Structure 1
Amino acid sequence: MNIDLLKRLCETPGVPGHEHRVRDLIAREAADLFDTIETDVMGSLVCTRKGEGENPERIVLACHMDEIGFLVSHVSDKGFVHVSPVGGFDPRNLFSRRVLVCTDEGDYRGIMMAEGKPVHISAPEDRKKVPEPTDFFIDLGLGAAAKDKVRVGDFVVMDEPLVEMGERIVSKALDNRIACWLGLEIVRKLLADGRSHKCQLTVAFTVQEEVGLRGARTVAYDLKPHIGIGIDTTLACDTPGVPERDKTTELGAGFGLHMKDNSFIADGALVREFEAVAKEEGIASQRTILAGGGMDGASLQQAASGARAIGIVVGTRYIHTVCEMIDRRDLLAARDVLAAFLSRH
């Protein structure tokens, strides 16, 4: 497994509207894997392998590049940086975090803290309050000099390394750099196994998914796929305190066939086809339905004249935190079933 690639993808900062560093990394990795590589107006990286014949079946895989983060909204005279979230945060996970403030001139490490009194001088009722994400600020340790280095609109990500824990991988931004990894490694798997495909295969590394599935929508209007596959993480709530019926997926039980969320309902025939391919190849799978949320598969399904669509997902514990956790066996299962499916089209 190419863990070095996943590490570089996860540790490269890129929030909605600022995915350029991730895009550049992927473009370098994709150079020898695709026939054409283009960047669209919104910033999505559209990588295509030609199909056979005059009008081949068009299959598009959507792998969003953005991670949740913040944009700088204000820098005080004392150099404290205030932020506006881009993506969904649970503020309980933001206390005392190390962050990276990314500017055009360079990056600065900082500490994210909540406004208010520290523990030694706060009242018990103060410590029970949960602030909003906009109530947090960043201290760069630069004092007033920060005002000359950081500007409104600069972006902020969590600053944590990827670590391996047995079969488990923990990192910030596994949502959705696992999909970026899959978009590249699926093609490498096809080539390594000597498998071909008749379809026109496009892997679209999309922008701004976390704020409304935006990049995938423009890609879908342009390419008009026959089949759209959204690749993403989903919840793995197989942990204490969550009812069994709400676990969504279980780590180590295989890739997820994403059948429904708030944004779309998967094509039934595609669900059955993926299950048949997985059974034939001996690949573990699990069906998944997510009570909320959305994913790029919805944009592929609903744009222009529409497409048959499904989601292929990897269960992730502690999602939208700095310690997202996946099982590498589930990630490899997603790679293998996608490669096998594509080799049949």
Structure 2
Amino acid sequence: MNFQLLKKLSNADAIASNENEVRSIIKDELKEYKDSFEYDGLGSLIVTKKCKKKDAATIMFAAHMDEVGFMVRYISDIGFAFLIPIGSVEERAKSMQLVRVTTKQGEKIEGLLNSLKDSEGKVNQIYVDFGFDSREEVEKSGIDVGDMVCFATNFRLLKSENIVAGKAMDDRVGCYSLIKAMQSLVNVDLDVNIVAAFTSSEEVGTRGGKLVSKIVSPDLFFAIDVAKNPELDRGYRNTRRLGRGVMLEFFDKTMVPNPRLLGYIMEIAKDSGIEYQKDMFKGGGTDAGSAHMENGGIISSVLGLPLRYCHDPYSLANMNDVKSMQKLIKEIALRFNDEKIKDLYSF
């Protein structure tokens, strides 16, 4: 199995509104579609495969490019860069981690992340020690307020078969699956238009999903995202097991999907031999939460990939699950048509 594309995506740095490194990789991988490339005002990349039928329905799949990370907020007189989190970084990940800042000149500078806690043990300040001893040294290096800071994690394959570890797996595994599915559809005739949206700023309020849906006005919307596997629980309440397939999300606090759509997806998965898990989110949401409220209401669903240690310096993913996701995306594109989509809107 070739891991090189996922390695490139995982090792790239991209917090909200700073997704250029990831966007460039995706544009290169999907260059067969370059004449269709569009963007929203945040930088989300919209890639379209048009079918030959006039006025055909449109299905959009969205995976977000941004990761949780930090931004430089202050530079102290003794040469430390104090940070603000961008997205919901895990508390345990805010101390004694190697990170890297990307300067405005594009240079990567590594340092050690640490934090201070209040009387209740909660993190209230986060800073990076780059080894400098003064503000002047920091500024001379090129580091400035507003610079992106990400975990200095390097993607790797673990000893356990098909398990990979890397940063930003939320949602680079989704991006990877969608890229691979679109590559497999280049020379395939379809009954519907397929749009792959690689969205900006999901981790700070599912913003890209709202914008790309408003621009394209799809008939169906699928968020390709992830959820955290409770690693110590291997019982029946863990519906996010690594290696057990794609997660079909029946509920989250931002959206309840159309039951008939879920039924269709389960039929497709069963017919195609794609293993899946039935999952629900207690909290949080995805791009589907904002997208489904656009244009009078877009029937939407979340197709999830299980991860261990989400929003941490390393997350674990099973490549068999990722392969199942790319296969499911392709099968949905192949099997849906105008009539089936119209039936979903018959209330």
CA, structure 1 residues 153+293, in 2 after alignment: closer, same or farther (shift >3 Å)?
Answer: same
C-alpha distance in structure 2 between counterparts of 1:267 and 1:156, whole Å: 39
C-alpha distance in structure 2 between counterparts of 1:87 and 1:74, whole Å: 18
1:53 alignment counterpart: 53
Deviations 1:162-191, CA, capped at 9 Å, x for gaps:
111222111110000111111210022334
2:341 alignment counterpart: none
Deviations 1:9-45, CA, capped at 9 Å, x for gaps:
0100000121112111211111114650122211101
Quick check: 2:182–2:196 contact (8 Å CA) kept in 1?
A: no
Q: More deviation in 19-28 or 61-70?
A: 19-28
Tell me whether 1:262 sits opposite 2:262 in the alignment.
no
C-alpha distance in structure 2 between counterparts of 1:115 and 1:309, whole Å: 42
Q: Give the counterpart of 1:173 among 168, 175, 188.
A: 168
SS of 2:262's equivalent in the other structure is helix
2:129 alignment counterpart: 139
Over the matched positions of the two proteins, sequence identity in percent amounts to 27
Quick check: 1:96–1:112 contact (8 Å CA) kept in 2?
A: yes
C-alpha distance in structure 1 between counterparts of 2:63 and 2:315, whole Å: 18
Aligned length: 330
CA RMSD of aligned residues (A): 1.8
Paired letter, 1:235 = K
C-alpha distance in structure 2 between counterparts of 1:143 and 1:107, whole Å: 19
Tell me whether 1:220 sits opposite 2:221 in the alignment.
no
Q: How does 1:93-108 map to 2 (within 5 A)?
A: 93-105=93-105, 106-108=107-109
CA, structure 1 residues 333+285, in 2 after alignment: closer, same or farther (shift >3 Å)?
Answer: same
Deviations 1:78-129, CA, capped at 9 Å, x for gaps:
210000011002222222100011111112111101238xxxxxxxxx9x96
2:149 alignment counterpart: 156
Tell me whether 1:293 sits opposite 2:284 in the alignment.
yes
Structure 2 length normalisation: TM-score?
A: 0.90
1:119 alignment counterpart: none
SS of 1:340's equivalent in the other structure is helix
1:338 alignment counterpart: 329
Could you tell me how far 1:235 is from its partner in structure 2? 1.9
Could you tell me how far 1:197 is from its partner in structure 2? 1.6
Q: How does 1:10-159 map to 2 (within 5 A)?
A: 10-33=10-33, 35-105=35-105, 106-115=107-116, 130-132=121-123, 134-144=124-134, 145-148=137-140, 149-159=142-152
Paired letter, 2:139 = K
SS of 1:74's equivalent in the other structure is strand
1:122 alignment counterpart: none
Paired letter, 1:162 = F
Paired letter, 2:55 = N
